[in-house]
Amino acid sequence: MSISQAVQEIPPSVPTARTVLGKPAAVMSDFLKRSWATVDLDCIGHNIEKVKELVSPGCKVLGVVKADAYGHGAKFVARELNRHGVDWFGVSNVEEAVSLRRDGIFKPILIFGTTPAQYAGTLCEYSITQAVFSTQYARQLSQAAQELGVTVDAHVKVDTGMGRLGFLTDEGNLLDSAQKIQDICGLPGLKFTGIFTHFSCADETNADAVAYTKGQFSRFMEILKLLEKKGIIFPIRHCCNSAATLLYPQMHLDMVRPGIVLYGLSPSGDCGGILDLHPALSLTCCISQVKTVEPGTYISYGRTWCAKEPRVIASVTIGYADGYHRILSNRARMLVRGRLAPVVGRVCMDQLMLDVTGIDGVCPGDTAVMIGTDGENTLTADEMATLTDSINYEVVCLVGKRVPRIYMQNGRQVGVTNYVGQTIEE
């Protein structure tokens, strides 16, 4: 079914978007009649180029595209990063890695999390590098690889203070972990080409956090020295996430792993302004009904908001099933015709209501912007994160899978990912 056929089958009563961030709906395709995220690939390209300017010649760049590229869509984002010369890609699990391969990404891919040992054949078949974080897991993966007659590329993961996966490197475990790493490097069926750690608070610049990050780096370098004395040298050593890439150039080593900055968002307020970042994602929905309610009228579940005077209420087509948190009820705001409109009443599963009193001409089919710019006003993922006591990472990652992603480049639409329908490339 083509896009135009799909539009024709939508009942006439369902409104279609008239404008998207001030642009005619024709630019964005008129099938976008409910809620959608627009991803500007030019912003992705701009951001990765800014990151590359920070790193020294010879330092590789691993683009983190786990969680469907932080909700932006891994297929299109990875292609753009690949076009800009990213050396590696980072994902959470084997499904994400295989998906990248099937989408035509042939650069090295590192899985940060665990992969069941029985998938050793898949790791080898698709040339995927697996993080190895314990002796037990290394032995399981080695045995599975031997049984299949394959060799799995791997990076050792060490825990320098994150408290998550990895060989411990605190004073009481450092020597033992160095011996364990030496032992697993000799296991058949595994080829270790790298070693890495992950910082816990590199995005904080208070004295205690800086000392902790430097302590993590010191422990990482210490275990590398111990392993070097044992004749174990890794071609790729890496520890810098987005924040450390920005704040600690002396720690870049052989490769950095930018994630959130690729999408134009800062790891934290402490990191703001270091790079000229362009947010890539905007989030928009449609107004389906506009009505004037009388004083004493309650809005939405639980009667948490009541009109104290006549108010103009617009129902819009997004809800918590789309990733718009219920906690935003009576707290957030959206942009309608370039003006700020507060969310009133509780956010429903599929809809919510805005108070558009005083905004002239609002009618069904108009758009409401949750993240992005309309006129002179802008709403950001950071603002939404503050209202939900969260971080911008979570805001973009949780944009629901029934929200299509629309990809723009050079001012034109180049593709659509519709997770509940089909993916269309133009």
- Is residue 254 within 8 Å of 60, Cβ to Cβ? yes
Tokens of 295: 């004083």
**Which residues make Cβ contacts (< 8 Å) with residue 95, sequence separation at least 6?**
none
d(CA 88, CA 256): 10
Tell me how far apart the 2 most distant CA atoms of the chain are, in Å: 79
**Catalytic residue list contains 66:** yes
Looking at 191, 225, 230, 301, which residue is catalytic? 301
How big is the chain by its Cα radius of gyration, in Å? Answer: 24
**Catalytic residue list contains 214:** no
Looking at 66, 75, 137, 324, which residue is catalytic? 66
Instruction: Specify the pairing of strand 152-159 against strand 167-168.
Output: parallel
Tokens of 130: 């697996």
| Residue 326, beta-bridge partner list | none
Cβ burial 25-60 (10 Å sphere, 16+ → b, else e): beebbbbbbbbbbbbbbebbbbbbebbeebbeeebb
Calculate ∠ Cα 385-53-64, nearest 5°. Answer: 45
The H or E element spanning position 344 is strand 339-344
d(CA 21, CA 118): 48
**Which residues make Cβ contacts (< 8 Å) with residue 2, sequence separation at least 6?**
none
DSSP state string for 124-139: HHTTEEEEE-SHHHHH
Tokens of 293: 């309610």
Give the residue numbers annotated as catalytic, written as ranges.
66, 301
